[in-house]
Chain A
């Protein structure tokens, strides 16, 4: 039975070596998503820019 075992070991080896048996994990690396952004600050500053500029200039005038 010794030669038989040897033969099977060879068989085993050939089964292990082929690339087909390699466990593969899905390790593809994707780039990040891009989200669209809205901002209260931006809107607020746009909205109040006019009155702010007005109040600054009027303060300066008052001085």
Chain B
């Protein structure tokens, strides 16, 4: 009687998760665990699905807990394939949690067992997961420092090169298996790995393949991802017109897919690209579009970025009133979100604009006067006019990860 009940609850959980309602699915699976079962294979399947449901719900600590239970159970009953699957899922979860070393051990176990069982599909999937862990590891270490794609410390480079190697191994198997969807995923992430390594031509080649496969499947989200990644790579190749074309396609698809956040991102990228093309009117147009969506989505950080960019573009056009308006707004928002480097950048921009407009402005604006005081204290009260030339480099270092060299 109890046995049937646990099974029934689990089957309903499965149905709900398949239908896309993970939250409701979790309730049924947890109820099934409460009822309990003596069938350890059924229990293992419930744990595994609970882990995956929590993973998709971004509740990674819970996901970790259940995938761990599944692994223990699979080992207990000597289910090797089950152990491989649990190890892979545990590895993916540990990766998201930033525990890369343990994630590597788990994904390697998934790979070893798959090879032992001569399971080609499993082997390919384990290789893809391993690539993802090394990619995340490399990106994570890279984000801790301030450098551009292509200028990487050795540990970052090693991790990214390993990621590329695993993606390529995965590609050779899934090509053999004729699994186009898996090829698409591998090309996308391989492209992004080449991008971080500074191999922008290789990145373009991989993303072009990704694009082709996305079109084959009519997968418009993947198509949009490919356009965006192609745009990024062409920026670093210095081909700004081509980049702008890809970002325009990203924007078009984002609007079709009604994804406002992605639409904002595309507008922001286009604004930056037109700045590089020195077409400031178009840059302003796109940054304003980005600003509107950022406000709509209550994305304060995005709003601050938009104001910063707009301030710069208006300065380039010599429209100092608008430039000051946005620099002040950037300062306000930086304070609000506690972005110290953004705050400093805004203050520096404001004092530059103040110099251009003459000192009369600061006398009747308390924010500007205060900004001047803070700036003087930050610079040890050195005389003005100091910041041009070498000291611009300081400004860059003060805005880590936000200001890569777009060359």
- A-side residues, CB < 8 A to B, are 1, 5, 8-9, 11-13, 15-17, 19-44
Contact = CB atoms under 8 A, between A and B. Distances in A.
A12 B188 contact: no
Given A17-B278, A19-B407, A27-B269, A38 B128 contact: no
Contact of B265 (A25, A31, A40): A25
A23 B308 contact: yes
A34 B14 contact: no
Contacts of B228: 27, 29
A20 B230 CA distance: 20
For the residues of A in contact with B, the DSSP-based class is: loop
Contacts of B20: none
Given A16-B316, A19-B276, A24-B403, A39 B14 contact: yes
A32 B92 CA distance: 11
Interface in B386-407: 388, 392, 395-396, 399, 401-407
Contacts, number: 146
A40 B358 contact: no
A23 B125 contact: no
B45 A28 contact: no
Interface residues on B, range: 35 or more
A11 B11 CA distance: 69
Contacts of B357: 5
B129 interface: yes
B7 interface: yes
Contact of A29 (B11, B225, B358): B225
A40 B88 contact: no
Contact of A23 (B55, B195, B399): B399
A33 B339 CA distance: 32
15 contacts: A9-B356, A13-B318, A16-B316, A21-B396, A23-B305, A27-B269, A29-B224, A30-B132, A30-B189, A31-B186, A36-B85, A36-B88, A38-B82, A40-B10, A40-B14
B46 interface: yes
Nearest to B184: A31
A5 B358 contact: yes
A47 to B, nearest CB: 8
A20 B403 contact: yes
Contacts of A29: 188, 192, 224-225, 228-229
